[in-house]
Copies of this chain bind each other. A is one copy, B any other.
Amino acid sequence: MNGTPGRFLTIEGIEGVGKTTQVARLSKGLDERGIAHVVTREPGGTPLAERIREIVLNNAHGEALPPTAELLLMFAARAVHLANHIEPQLKAGRWVVCDRFTDATYAYQGGGRRMGTDDIRQLEAMVQGARRPDLTLLLDAPVDQALQRARQRNAGAAADRFESERAEFFERVREAYRARAAAEPDRIAIVDAGQSADQVAAEILTLLAARSWIS
């Protein structure tokens, strides 16, 4: 609306690091500064992408989902999300705050499920072209702390396919996330999720201010 494209921010991290809380806090912080934005999530983000998400996450069907099929569905949902929601919003000058994006695919499918990252890289190029997040906030905490929080939050709820995985799996996911942050330090900022929610929210706003994106 103001002639400049919006910023594309993604929030990443394993279950229980407080992504949902921080997405809401960041949205509030942007509201207070008058920055037009939308909040969305992956996999999903549009009705059609959510239909694809359902096939990936819903473990009610008795048929195995081969890893390559899972990967293709994730990127199919992402292609829909980008074309029908993210790109139009950015073009209209609004920021997009997305709960998980392609770094999650590298971390969960690549790191957690040990799929080759060559396939992921090919699909990233096919679906995204040159599009990458302007900034990725990686909420990081030790796996045992994070999983304890996730378990408390989900008490009584059915665990979905990913949340029923083992701690060892999440160790690999966390390491893959941290390796990506080490390889792309300008784009991916590691935020200590062991701090209080207030401290994490303040640190995220400080990271945006340091880039002169907010004041």
Seen from chain A, the residues whose Cβ lies within 8 Å of a Cβ on chain B are 46-48, 51-52, 55, 61, 63-66, 68-69, 72-73, 75-77, 79-80, 83-84, 119, 122-123, 126-127
Contact = CB atoms under 8 A, between A and B. Distances in A.
A2 to B, nearest CB: 27
Contact of A47 (B63, B72, B119, B122): B63
A84 B55 contact: no
B76 A61 contact: no
A69 B55 contact: no
Given A52-B55, A55-B52, A63-B48, A79 B84 contact: no
Contacts of A122: 122, 126
Q: How many copies does the complex hold?
A: 2
A122 B125 CA distance: 11
A70 to B, nearest CB: 8
A46 B66 CA distance: 13
A84 B66 contact: yes
A80 B70 CA distance: 9
Nearest to A48: B63
The 6 closest A-B pairs by CB, nearest first: A72-B76, A69-B79, A66-B83, A48-B63, A69-B76, A68-B79
Nearest to A67: B79
A69 B75 CA distance: 8
A65 B52 contact: no
Contact of A64 (B63, B77, B83, B126): B83
